Amino acid sequence: MTDQRFDPSSADGRWQRAWEVAGSFRADSDSNKPKSYVLEMFPYPSGRIHIGHVRNYTMGDVLARFKKLTGHEVLHPMGWDAFGMPAENAAMEKGVHPGGWTRANIEHMKAQLKRLGFALDWSRELATCEPEYYGHEQALFLKLHEAGLVYRKESEVNWDPVDMTVLANEQVIDGKGWRSGAEIEKRKLSQWFLRITQFADELLEGLSSLDTWPDKVRLMQENWIGKSKGLRCTFRLVDSDSGIEVFTTRPDTMFGASFVAIAPDHPLAQRMAATVPDLAAFVAECKKGGTTAAEIETQEKRGFNTGLSVSHPLESHWHLPVYVANFVLMDYGTGAIFGCPAHDQRDLDFARKYGLPVHRVVADGDETGEVFRGDEAYTGPGHIVNSRWLDGMTVDEAKAAVIARAEHEGWGKGETQWRLRDWGVSRQRYWGTPIPFIHCAACGIVPVPESQLPVVLPEDVDFKTPGNPLERHPTWKQVDCPGCGGSAQRETDTLDTFVDSSWYFLRFASQPTDKPFDRDEVAKWLPVEQYIGGVEHAILHLLYARFWTRALRHIGLIDLDEPFASLFTQGMVTHETYSRPQGGRDIWFGPEEVERTGHGATLRADGGPVTIGKVVKMSKSKKNVVDPDTIVDRFGADAVRWFMLSDSPPERDLPWSESGIEGCWRFVQRLWRLFAEHDTAATGEDKALDRKLHQTVDAVARDIEALAFNKAVARIYELTSAIEKAPPSASRSGAIRTLVQLVAPMMPHLAEEAWTNLGQQGLVAESDWPTVDPALLVEDEVTIAVQVKGKLRDTLTVAKGLSNTELEALALASDKVQRAIDGAEVRKVIVVPDRLVNIVA
């Protein structure tokens, strides 16, 4: 190599074209090599990739390249999760078609990804917004319907009266639509559902087999599925033959009850609200509140005293007041609870607000007094107190005892309930997969015949009027009934976009034109060996993908339980923020607008100071975003990739810094200079360097397999320094060549350029990972500390396993040791093999 600097502006594109021409990353299903499926969660085509994408895809790319180098046939595809509301928002705000906006974004983001040199099989690219994809999704949906896993029922929904669409709970902010700001209404609409609850037990039990998933993700799914064993029982209304059915997971605390609460939409609350205006107003107010579990946990606990009372099931003369409460949901249990304030935080908050009794019934250590004080409920273990015949039992013993008594006396029974609810997939929007059903006045709801699939979205739609354009389209929804031939209408709801991402990994593995996938091809690749993505998808996407896989197995299309054998959730890329107060609020500035000056910062536009804020997740709102294109322009793809892998463990957040990326750029150039020193004419062995090289090759391989990229980077730094310090030899020349292969998964463009300049044949991306000599992994030399009178006087580097007699002789022969002894008599020599010689004089 004659050039003193590596020039990524020419090298990057050249090698990307070479890989494409050679088809280096095309997966061959017919290969006899062991197969490895590496997949990162596919992106939404918003228009630009961000640094978080770069980190995610760099990790997957290093693993995919490494797997290829180690003799695997690798499937590493890329596609686009392309349906959804952002495209419709763009249509409304910019007057563009969602399809044109989406496809233009895909082309731009694809070009950005290619600039980073990712080893992707672009021949398998897919976009969920194309009929070639969603037509097969419609076919699968119909097959699930045939199997009884899809059904339609009337359900209460969050209705945005301005955008005229159903909103998910997470899209309702303080009772208002996230986009329109309109007050959300509760409406009953006929919705399509997938019967995910049929697989609740399987989905829960399957988590135990996913031992290479993060514990926090498994716990989040476990809590979302929410299997609860408890008691269903009746609290009889005083002076009435009817009662309120309650489900509780804590029957052990029944003697601590102080009230019963029902949901605002409980049938009893609804009947009373019809004649009690104040209750009707309270119920209406409750419906404006948050509907997510998180919002319900944090909102103020409020109630309405109905004036009714119920009898305690265990002591009929003990009467409890009945409230309508905003934190009780009809969707969970029976829509009614009994409150035990001492041992449930929500109940305690409620009791303190309304002055209700708080009785301790589970001992908190030595605390057994009946009156519970304080504002934090005790939910830990203990024995039962203040509970008549239950006193002294453990919590579990008391649960069993109460359930047994309830069943014996006929006022309750043990029961298992689930937090998980069937998946409502209907969305009143245009940019999604049309649900393939037809509504006929004579025949009812009829599936679209498979021969008429795909049901394609119409192109001639407008978004000037709020609501679903499919509903008001003049011709698209008008169709002949496939049953009777009479006039009918298409279903105008589209599928939740989570459906699109619940099976895309199967389509990546197999893409026949006449069906969603080929069963045998899927069996060759699945499950995905390594899945990588953000923890924000830990619940819904991953749970739905696991359900969809089981549902397809249930109808005989695949032989697979779990789609993702191993899961890794990477940390975010963060950046400090820059702001300045103006007009009573903070104005934010991007990194490119700011000049760092020592410990402070100034705005380039006017030279005035700006406040350096916290290092937080990059976001458009705080403008602390780094543009990947700009960074690649300045430093090249390899420096950016190296930065993504350095310093922080990949599961932790990675703070972006200008000095950090500049340091990576300097290391790229350092390697380039070192690679230029390769000398094929050099002779002689360097045993220490050989050992260091083989130990590094072995360790880096294990680090990459474990996704411990920062450790692999650190080892490569160490090896680079060792090679730089070593004198010329055949060992050094070989180590330089091997180092090129070691960095190839991480810095592929630099490695290809160096590989060619070293006179090697073919592409380094298609070479073999360096072999390791097991003998060189074992240290055959050790450093021995030599002490005289307990003080270190010398060290000896000797052959490992040297005898005690030999070690003693070498230690006593040392000049430094003899000076320390200074003619005194050696009374004793203590030898610790391979570690220490201690001389007592």
pLDDT at 357: 97
List all residues 6 or more positions away from 223 whose beta carbon is below 8 Å from its beta carbon: 419
Q: Are residues 761 and 790 in the same domain?
A: no
pTM value? 0.86
Determine what percent of the chain falls in helix, strand and coil, rounding each to the nearest 5: 40, 25, 35
Which residue from 67, 25, 58, 72 is spatially nearest to 705, judged by alpha carbons?
A: 67
Helix 637-645 and helix 628-635, axial crossing angle in degrees, nearest 10: 110
How are beta strands 781-788 and 836-840 bridged, if at all? Answer: parallel
Q: In whole angstroms, what is the distance from residue 789 CA to residue 268 CA?
A: 89
* Confidence at residue 817, expressed as pLDDT on a 0 to 100 scale: 93
Are 510 and 518 in contact by the 8 Å Cβ rule? The answer is yes
Residues 59, 118: one domain?
Answer: yes
| 407/540 same-domain check | no
Of 811, 802, 671, nearest to 747 by C-alpha is 671
* CATH for 713: 1.10.730.10
Model confidence band, residue 291 (pLDDT cutoffs 50, 70, 90): low
Instruction: Assign 430 a pLDDT band (cuts: 50, 70, 90).
Output: very high
Exposure of 739 by Cβ count < 10 A (0-12 exposed, 13-18 middle, 19+ buried)? buried
pLDDT, residue 462, reads 87
Q: What is residue 657's predicted lDDT score, i.e. its pLDDT?
A: 87
For residue 98, cis peptide bond before it (omega within 30 degrees of 0): no
* Distance set, CA 249 to CA 231, 328, 388 (Å): 6, 15, 20
User: Measured between alpha carbons, how far is 730 from 734 in angstroms, rounded to an integer?
Assistant: 6
Tell whether 643 is covered by a domain: no
Q: Select from 354, 388, 418 the last residue of a domain.
A: 418
Interval 494-532: pLDDT, tens: 999 999 999 999 999 999 999 999 999 999 999 999 999
DSSP 477: T
Q: Which of 569, 594, 627 is the last residue of a domain?
A: 569
Nearest to 564 by CA among 519, 521, 504: 504
- Quote the pLDDT of residue 459: 94
**Residue carrying the six token digits 């059915």:** 245
Query: Where is mean pLDDT largest: 179-183, 372-376, 636-640?
Result: 636-640
Residue 391 has a pLDDT of 97
Residues 388-426: tens digit of each pLDDT: 999 999 999 999 999 999 999 999 999 999 989 899 999
Question: In whole numbers, what is the pLDDT of the chain averaged over residues?
Answer: 93
Choose among 139, 211, 150: nearest CA to 551.
150
Task: Render 695-706 in DSSP notation, one character per residue.
Answer: HHHHHHHHHHHT
Q: Range with the lowest mean pLDDT among 276-290, 534-548, 741-755? A: 276-290
**pLDDT single digits (tens) 168-178:** 666 777 778 87
Dump pLDDT digits (tens) for 190-213: 999 999 999 999 999 999 999 999
- Closest by Cα among 189, 167, 62, 50 to 113: 50
The pLDDT value given to residue 536: 85
- In this predicted structure, which of 467-476, 635-644, 717-726 has the lowest mean pLDDT? 467-476
Handedness of CA 344, 345, 348, 349 (dihedral sign): negative
Look at the block and give the residue holding tokens 């031939």. Answer: 485
Confidence of residue 3 (pLDDT cuts 50, 70, 90): low
**Residue 477 backbone dihedrals phi, psi, to 5 degrees:** -80, -10
With b for 16 or more beta-carbon neighbours within 10 A and e for fewer, the 422-432 pattern comes to: bbbbbbbbbbb
Write down which residue in 549, 569, 589 finishes a domain.
569
pLDDT tens-digit readout, 445-455: 999 999 999 99
φ, ψ of residue 449 in degrees (nearest 5): -60, 145
Residue 652 belongs to a domain: no
Q: How many CB atoms lie within 10 A of CB 451?
A: 6
The verdict on 676 and 756 lying in the same domain is: yes
What is each CA distance from 379 to 347, 397, 405, 512, in whole angstroms?
12, 16, 24, 55
- Encode pLDDT of 5-24 as tens digits: 999 999 999 999 999 999 99
In a domain, 69, yes or no: yes
CA-CA distance, 30 to 523, in Å (whole number)?
Answer: 12
DSSP 597-653: ETTEEEETTT--B-EEEEEEE--TTTT----HHHHHHHH-HHHHHHHHHSSS-TTS-
- The answer to whether residue 731 sits within a structural domain is yes
SS3 54: helix
Structure tokens at 451: 């021969």
Asked whether the bond before 482 is cis by omega within 30 degrees of 0, the reply is no
Count of Cβ atoms closer than 10 Å to residue 252 Cβ: 28
Q: Are residues 788 and 770 in the same domain?
A: no
> Per-residue pLDDT averaged across 133-161, rounded?
94
Do 810 and 756 fall into the same domain?
Answer: no
The CATH number for 814's domain is 3.10.20.590
Q: What is the pLDDT of residue 622?
A: 86
Query: Which element (helix H / strand E) includes 338?
Result: strand 336-339
- Is residue 452 included in any domain, yes or no? no
What is the per-residue pLDDT for 292?
53
CA pair distance 167, 157, nearest whole angstrom: 7
- Domain assignment present for 182: no
- Give 251 or 300, the one with higher predicted confidence: 251
The contacts of residue 535 (CB under 8 Å, 6+ apart) are 214, 216, 217, 569
Tell me, what CATH number does 327's domain have? Answer: 3.90.740.10
3-state secondary structure 367-436: ECCCECCCCCCCCCCCEECCCHHHCCCEHHHHHHHHHHHHHHHCCEEEEEEECCCCEECEECCCCCCECC
Domain count, the chain: 4
Counting Cα atoms < 13 Å in the Cβ hemisphere of 568 gives 27
Neighbouring C-beta atoms of residue 799, cutoff 10 Å:
10
Chain centre to alpha carbon of residue 285: 35
**Assigned domain for 613 exists:** no
Q: Same domain, yes or no, for 370 and 263?
A: yes
In contact, 324 and 354? CB cutoff 8 Å: no
CB atoms within 10 A of CB 588: 18
Domain holding 693, by residue range, is: 667-775
Cα distances (Å, whole numbers) of residue 598 to 611, 612, 795: 13, 12, 45
> Is residue 401 within 8 Å of 393, Cβ to Cβ?
yes
Q: E strands, 111-253, where? A: 121-127, 150-160, 165-167, 172-173, 176-177, 185-194, 227-236, 243-248
Q: Is residue 410 located within the same domain as residue 517?
A: no
**CA–CA separation, 255 vs 264, rounded Å?**
26
pLDDT attached to residue 381: 93
Phi-psi region of 120 (alpha: psi -120 to 50; beta: other; left: phi over 0): beta
| Residue 794 · residue 836 · CB < 8 Å | no
Percent of the chain with pLDDT over 70: 98
Which tokens hold the place of 373?
């004080």
Please tell me whether residues 313 and 232 are part of one structural domain: yes
- Cα 71 to Cα 35: distance, rounded to the nearest angstrom: 9
Q: Are strands 781-788 and 594-597 parallel, antiparallel or unpaired?
A: unpaired
Which H or E element spans position 61?
helix 51-69
pLDDT tens digits for range 378-388:
999 999 999 99
Q: How confident is the model at residue 297 (pLDDT cuts 50, 70, 90)?
A: low
Q: Which two tokens stand for residue 183?
A: 């007050």
pLDDT score at 290: 57
Q: How far apart (Å, rounded) are the C-alpha atoms in residues 67 and 266?
A: 57
Mean pLDDT score, 570-578: 90
**Cβ neighbour number for residue 282 with a 10 Å cutoff:** 20
pLDDT at 617: 87
Q: What are the pLDDT digits (tens) for 814-831?
A: 989 999 998 888 889 999
pLDDT at 681 over 90: no
Whether residues 327 and 278 share a domain: the answer is yes
- Asked if 68 contacts 8 with a C-beta cutoff of 8 angstroms, the reply is no
Determine the pLDDT at residue 298.
66
Do 747 and 822 have their domain in common? no
Residue 180 DSSP code? T
> Is there a domain that residue 77 lies in?
yes
Residues 814 and 770 in one domain: no
Say if residues 279 and 304 touch (Cβ distance below 8 Å).
Answer: yes
